[in-house]
């Protein structure tokens, strides 16, 4: 903290940082809520077994000269697997019939909002996760919009959501829909899984919380308890503090270093 303060003192005369709060003081109230979800018993068992297997594999890889060359890639793959299971086991194993505590929690909250006629933006970094909800909406005959990298009729999808009062949930890939969209028709934002870069999530919620919004905005982050997601949230907090203290927004966007990845697997 002392080093960060000294660095800030040196560079402050040369940097003008305009935060959203300073530039846009007339934005409506923003409420952010973290919803911690219990994994289902079978889901938790699957997660713990896979975590143990992956941890042992990574320890062996560190001692293997060939595997050690790609240790960061291997660690990212291992963490990806755990993130998938924490969301929904079927993301990690297409043949799995294990349910998801998070999925049930999201649906429960979502059904309440839809019954009130609320428009909801639903972000995930996994398109396969979004598809789980798309399948559910189709089964329940709920109209929805879906935007991901492969979406061809992007503008048509966006216009339909904005203009159709009966089109309430909008499933959006965090990577393809977190920037440049004005979706102030929605007063609720769901972030289904934490991303390494907290700035990406801030961009996502800014699709609704922006100039032109005349409603209070509520952001719900869904986090599986006792999982890698809690550790990623901690990493996000650290990056946000670093960015705030030394004005380094690029630091927020960087992928975790190898030591951070290994710590997440511990």
Domain ranges of the chain: 9-38+100-224
Backbone angles phi, psi at 16, to 5 degrees: -110, 110
- 192: confidence class by pLDDT, cuts 50, 70, 90: very high
Q: Which of 20-29, 100-109, 200-209 has the weakest average pLDDT?
A: 20-29
Average pLDDT of span 167-196: 89
- Domain 9-38+100-224, classified CATH 2.60.130.10, yes or no: no
- 246: confidence class by pLDDT, cuts 50, 70, 90: very low
Q: Which of 65-74, 209-218, 221-230 has the weakest average pLDDT?
A: 65-74
Residue 18 has pLDDT above 50, yes or no: no
pLDDT of 96: 96
| Residue located via tokens 């409420």 | 31
Residue 89 has pLDDT above 80, yes or no: yes
Which pLDDT tens digit goes with each residue over 56-76?
A: 888 887 777 777 777 778 888
Kindly state the greatest CA–CA separation across the chain: 59
CB 157 within 8 A of CB 147: yes
Backbone angles phi, psi at 113, to 5 degrees: -70, -40
Distances (CA, A) of 203 to 87, 136, 182, 240: 21, 27, 11, 14
Backbone angles phi, psi at 79, to 5 degrees: -65, -35
User: CA-to-CA distance for 109 and 125, rounded, in angstroms?
Assistant: 20
Which pLDDT tens digit goes with each residue over 140-153?
A: 999 999 998 877 88
Residue 11 has pLDDT above 60, yes or no: no
């Amino acid at each position: 903290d002392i080093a960060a303060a000294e660095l800030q003192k040196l560079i402050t005369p040369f940097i003008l940082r305009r935060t959203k709060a300073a530039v846009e003081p007339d934005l409506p109230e923003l409420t952010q809520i973290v919803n911690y979800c219990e994994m289902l018993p079978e889901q938790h068992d699957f997660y713990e077994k896979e975590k143990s297997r992956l941890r042992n594999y990574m320890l062996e890889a560190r001692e293997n000269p060939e595997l050690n060359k790609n240790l960061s890639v291997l660690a990212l793959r291992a963490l990806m697997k755990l993130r998938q299971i924490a969301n929904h086991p079927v993301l990690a194993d297409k043949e799995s019939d294990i349910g998801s505590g998070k999925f049930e929690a999201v649906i429960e909250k979502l059904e309440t909002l839809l019954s009130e006629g609320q428009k909801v933006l639903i972000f995930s970094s996994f398109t396969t996760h979004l598809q789980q909800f798309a399948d559910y909406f189709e089964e329940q005959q709920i109209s929805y919009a879906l935007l991901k990298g492969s979406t061809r009729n992007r503008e048509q999808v966006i216009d339909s959501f904005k203009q159709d009062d009966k089109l309430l949930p909008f499933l959006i890939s965090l990577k393809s829909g977190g920037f440049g969209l004005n979706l102030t028709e929605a007063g609720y934002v769901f972030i289904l899984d934490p991303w390494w870069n907290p700035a990406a999530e801030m961009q996502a919620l800014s699709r609704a919380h922006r100039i032109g919004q005349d409603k209070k905005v509520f952001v719900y982050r869904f986090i599986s308890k006792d999982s890698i997601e809690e550790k990623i949230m901690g990493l996000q907090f650290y990056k946000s503090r670093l960015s705030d203290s030394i004005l380094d927004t690029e630091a927020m966007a960087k992928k975790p270093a190898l030591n951070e990845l290994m710590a997440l697997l511990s």
